[in-house]
Amino acid sequence: MHRIKNISIFFLALFLLQITAQEKVFTTHDIFRIQNVGNAAVSPDGNYALYTLSVPRPFTEKAGSDYSNLYVYDFSKNESEELVTGKLNIYSPSWNVDSKSIFFRAKLEQSPKTQVYKIDLENKEIKLVTNSENSVSQYELSPDGKHLLYTSEEVLPSNKEIIEKGFDQEIFEENLADVNLYLMTLENNEVKQLTKDVSVFDFTWSNSGKQIAAAIAPNNLVDDSYMFKRIHLIDIESGEIKKLVNNPGKLGEMSFSPDDSKLAFISAADTNDSVAGSIFIADTKSENNFRKLKNYSKGFRGSVTDIDWLDNSTFLFLAEEGVYTVISKQKIDQDEREILLEEDKVILSSFSFNGEKFVFAGNTKMHPNELFVFEHNSKELNKLTNHNSWLKDYKLAKQEKIVYYAKDGLEIEAVLIYPLNYEEGKSYPLITYIHGGPEAAEMDGWQTSYSRWGQAAAAKDYFVFIPNYRASAGRGYEFALMGLGDLAGKEFEDVIDGIDFLISKGLVDHKKVGIGGGSYGGYFSAWAATRHSERFAASVCFVGIGNQISKRNTTDIPWEDYYVHWGIWTNENLEKVYDRSPVKWAYLNQTPLLILHGTEDPRVHPSQSLELYRSVKMFGNAPVRLVWYPGQGHGNSKNTAKLDYALRTMEWFDYYLKGNNDKSTKPNTDLDYKLEILD
């Protein structure tokens, strides 16, 4: 009798534990438990896959960025093994040609600079490979494994004695250190400099190892890396450098065909194209006129993000298509593709291919990035790792793709996350998340991070609306071009139309609509809180634009801004540029506005947030707050700054979209970080 009673108690306890587990809800603090698989590469023999794993830095340590460790997955054992782990950061791992050792970049005790290292898969011994005076920014092993290409900034002369006396002035955008390309012979460690007086921002070996395709720009400036990279071929033996293609504007990945006769590359279709998302193929035997090359992506409703070859007549490519990612293959003499990995399976941004296996970091709406393998022949897809197994105990909110139509009839796609406890017939508060760019696209995958409210907001019973408004990537050339010269025009109306669509369905309370985002998303949020303030009850503007006139004169990408966003200079139409500036409309403000910015942001100068704050404070009609993040740039990298942002922005939405707080007041400036939760 006692035995039966004890068994009954045991099963009751087990049942209650299961119920408790199922009832766990995602919180903002849970974001800082997430581990993300990063760079992934399949071994040449197909027996292994290596990958990096982003590991959150504990808040018990000195504040800083997350760690990135190195793992290898063994397909025969179906398990991962730690290779290089701890309080360090591993970058861009790759395989040796024999599949027995791995190269990677890191800053380890052997050198004060970031260098290339090699680790033996069997004995785990780590050896220093490069000994560059400055840090190595990129590298690639030759096809025969005998040479290593790498880039590094040249060392400029330094007058240390004068600087120590206090003469520490800096000359802006002059005396720049070029990014040089070097060739290292691994047998004897001999290093040869291949380029001079230019900057190399990307490169790839030919399969024969006789030449290199390099993306070369005149100067080591961010703007040059965006808009002025041109494809050149470098002959290894002679050192001769020849331009291969006069490609316009933005440039993406490059890949030689197996016989080296062709180079496939991802490029902007023209100078005004904001997305390097179209496929072109150049003949490597002579210089190519870009205008005469076939655009394999003409009319394609998507943006290509990665490319490789299956054989000399067939290329492989990955593309963002709406809110999904798709892997396809296509014959060079055909216009139609064959889909390999179809949409709505997994979200990825790049892949590694060895002729049989695609290996990549992928996420879904139910989990962040894990390691995946996709078999080319069988088309079998498998998730290999489960670094966030704790998520199985959490109840996550419903998430789906939605489609609606703008007032002018244009179809717009978006991701919608439902309130966790959604009940049909009830309306809920809304957080609208706006992506940056605008040449970016949000996918129907994992949508939760320090700057994306996603599941953390849904658990508080918000709808989260994530639109890919016109000018976004993922819908082809014509769609991306729709924002040129019309900043915050019809593209912003697409956001309003999406909100009205949700209101018309009875899902959203029109009095409780919030908006937030960073960079261009911050610009939209500032625009919402001023020009269209009557529609929004709360706004969060992160590293956003306040005054387009001064922004254009202080950004590190003025040429990119001109070519792909405006199409005019400010002096050509001053009224128009100022008209699209939130500060002009500050007097219309009635939306509580939270402004946040890193003090070292080179893209959108911190003064943009100061201008916005001062204008809204002086002329607006609602609470405004400005938060500086010391030492942070165009986005936060330090863990404490990330946690503050995530908690502070969520509190701002809660204060104005939930409860009965006086809308003329503000939340407390101090936060309870509850760090004990993360111990």
pTM over 0.85: yes
For residue 426, give every residue at least 6 positions away whose Cβ sits within 8 Å of its Cβ, in sequence order, or none: none
Distance CA 458, CA 422 (A): 9
CA distance 271 to 309: 27
How many Cα atoms occupy the beta-carbon half-sphere of 437 within 13 Å? 23
pLDDT at 530 > cutoff 60: yes
Please answer whether residues 306 and 317 qualify as being in contact, where contact means their C-beta atoms are separated by less than 8 angstroms: yes
- Quote the strand ranges of 290-386, DSSP E: 303-311, 314-321, 324-331, 337-341, 352-353, 357-364, 367-375, 381-383
Which of 5-9, 142-146, 582-586 is the least confident region?
A: 5-9
Q: Average pLDDT, whole number, for the chain?
A: 96
pLDDT in tens, 374-401: 999 999 999 999 999 999 999 999 999 9
> What DSSP letter does each residue of 97-125 carry, written as one string?
TTSSEEEEEE--TT-SS-EEEEEETTT--
In the chain, how long is the greatest CA-to-CA distance?
Answer: 92
Strand 179-185 and strand 394-395: the pairing is: unpaired
What is the band of 5 on the pLDDT scale with cuts at 50, 70, 90? very low
pLDDT score of 80 more than 60: yes
**Helices 520-528 & 490-504, crossing angle to 10 degrees?**
70
- Angstrom distance (rounded) from CA 545 to CA 567: 18
Greater confidence, 9 or 312? 312
167 pLDDT more than 70: yes
Residue 18 pLDDT more than 80?
no
**In whole angstroms, what is the distance from residue 319 CA to residue 498 CA?**
25
Q: What is the CA radius of gyration of the chain?
A: 26
The pLDDT tens digits for 590-602 are 999 999 999 999 9
pLDDT of residue 597: 99
Task: Name the band, by pLDDT with cuts 50, 70 and 90, for residue 475.
Answer: very high
Q: For residue range 81-91, what is the model confidence (pLDDT) as tens digits?
A: 999 999 999 99
pLDDT interval class at 22 (50, 70, 90)? low
State mean pLDDT over 529-547: 99
Quick check: 160 pLDDT over 60?
Answer: yes
CA distance 52 to 523: 33
Please report which confidence band the pLDDT of residue 159 belongs to, taking 50, 70 and 90 as the band edges. Answer: confident
State mean pLDDT over 358-373: 99
CB neighbourhood size of 290 (10 A): 17
b/e map of 408-446 (b: 16 or more CB within 10 Å)? eebebbbbbbbbbeeeeeebbbbbbbbbbbbbbbbbbbb
498-514: pLDDT as tens digits? 999 999 999 999 999 99
Please name each of the domains of the chain with its CATH number. 395-678 (3.40.50.1820)
* 3-state DSSP assignment of residue 216: strand
Amino acid 158: pLDDT: 84
> 99 and 73 in contact (C-beta within 8 Å)?
no
Spatial separation of the C-alpha atoms in residues 496 and 510, rounded to whole Å = 11
- Model pLDDT, residue 274: 98
Residue % of the chain over a pLDDT of 90? 95
Residue 9, pLDDT score: 45
Burial class (CB in 10 A: 0-12, 13-18, 19+), 9: exposed
Average pLDDT for 146-171: 93
Positive or negative, the CA dihedral 108, 110, 112, 118 is: negative
Write a three-state SS string for 475-501: CCHHHHHCCCCCCCCHHHHHHHHHHHH
Which pLDDT band holds residue 149 (cuts at 50, 70, 90)? very high
Q: Are 461 and 512 in contact (CB under 8 A)?
A: no
Confidence of residue 21 (pLDDT cuts 50, 70, 90): very low
pLDDT exceeds cutoff 70 at 7: no
Mean pLDDT value across residues 100-122? 97
Sign of the dihedral defined by the CA atoms of residues 62, 63, 64, 66, in that order: positive
Q: Which of 414, 413, 416, 383 is nearest to 397 (CA)?
A: 416
- Give the residue-averaged pLDDT of 283-308: 98
Q: Can you read off the two tokens belonging to residue 546?
A: 């306040």
Beta strands in 565-604 (DSSP E): 593-598
Q: Mind giving me the DSSP string for 147-161?
A: EEEEEEEPPPP--HH
What pLDDT, in 10s, does the model give residues 184-226? 999 999 999 999 999 999 999 999 999 999 999 999 999 999 9
DSSP designation for 398: P
Q: Do the Cβ atoms of 124 and 83 come closer than 8 Å?
A: yes
- The answer to whether 524 touches 539, Cβ cutoff 8 Å, is no
Given strand 463-468, what is the order of strands in its sheet?
A: 399-405, 411-417, 463-468, 428-434, 508-518, 538-542, 593-598, 624-629
- Structure tokens that stand for 526 in this block: 């500032």
DSSP 57: P
